[in-house]
A and B are shown apart, each in its own frame.
Chain A
Amino acid sequence: RKEVEQDPGPFNVPEGATVAFNCTYSNSASQSFFWYRQDCRKEPKLLMSVYSSGNEDGRFTAQLNRASQYISLLIRDSKLSDSATYLCVDYISGTYKYIFGTGTRLKVLA
């Protein structure tokens, strides 16, 4: 089983729609989680950290469910500019390693 798993998509949604992605992780020692965004042929960039209590940044909401070992990203009122690949990232305590998921591709359609 992969350490971090994501549905590759693509998720094709119309502008203005709400879309949610999940990401499951297998290591119970996982300490911190992040969502990164990667545009085509560009480097990944931090979108937001994922806190135990959940957090919200504008149209984006991230949640952590430790019991079921998954994190989620909700995007409200999707914009064309949200089209990208969203990478789930897991930091495993004591390893110095960030483990990246393979990403979920989102296409927002006009």
Chain B
Amino acid sequence: DTAVSQTPKYLVTQMGNDKSIKCEQNLGHDTMYWYKQDSKKFLKIMFSYNNKELIINETVPNRFSPKSPDKAHLNLHINSLELGDSAVYFCASSHLPPADLSTYTFGSGTRLTVV
């Protein structure tokens, strides 16, 4: 009965490869997010979707492309992976801010290592 689930949990891949991370939530939230947490533990927003519409698009390389087939799913596709992409990627969901901000819930993270 995991609320926000991400797959895979660990991903080790070579530079130049293309990979996807999937996220699904069963909380009935209408907003989902992708965050990147680097080696210095800084947690930074990348993208957010509300009901399949992109509402946050931070300055990230265009090698990163989010896709939201429905409001319960937000996937992250990364092209031409680079060493600097190594990080933990967290998916999260909530009701659309500012409503009920305490509903913000994170997935358990995907640890991506690019070698």
Contacts and interface: CB of A to CB of B under 8 A. Distances in A.
Interface of A: 31-32, 34, 41-46, 49, 85, 87, 91, 93, 95-100, 102-103
Contacts of A100: 35, 42-44
Interface stretch (B60-68, B69-77, B78-86, B101-109): B101-109
A64 to B, nearest CB: 14
Given A42-B109, A46-B102, A102-B43, 4 more contacts: A41-B109, A49-B102, A91-B98, A96-B48
B4 to A, nearest CB: 8
Q: How large is the interface on B (under 10, 10 to 19, 20 to 34, 35 or more residues)?
A: 20 to 34
B98 A34 contact: no
Interface centre among A96, A99, A100, by most chain B C-beta atoms within 10 angstroms, is: A96
18 contacts: A32-B98, A42-B109, A43-B107, A43-B108, A43-B109, A44-B90, A46-B104, A87-B43, A96-B31, A96-B55, A96-B56, A96-B96, A97-B48, A98-B104, A100-B35, A100-B44, A102-B43, A103-B43
A42 to B, nearest CB: 7
A102 B104 contact: no
Contacts of A87: 43
A97 B31 CA distance: 11
B41 A103 contact: yes
A85 B42 CA distance: 11
Nearest to A89: B104
B100 to A, nearest CB: 11
A42 B108 contact: yes
B45 interface: yes
Contacts of A49: 101-102
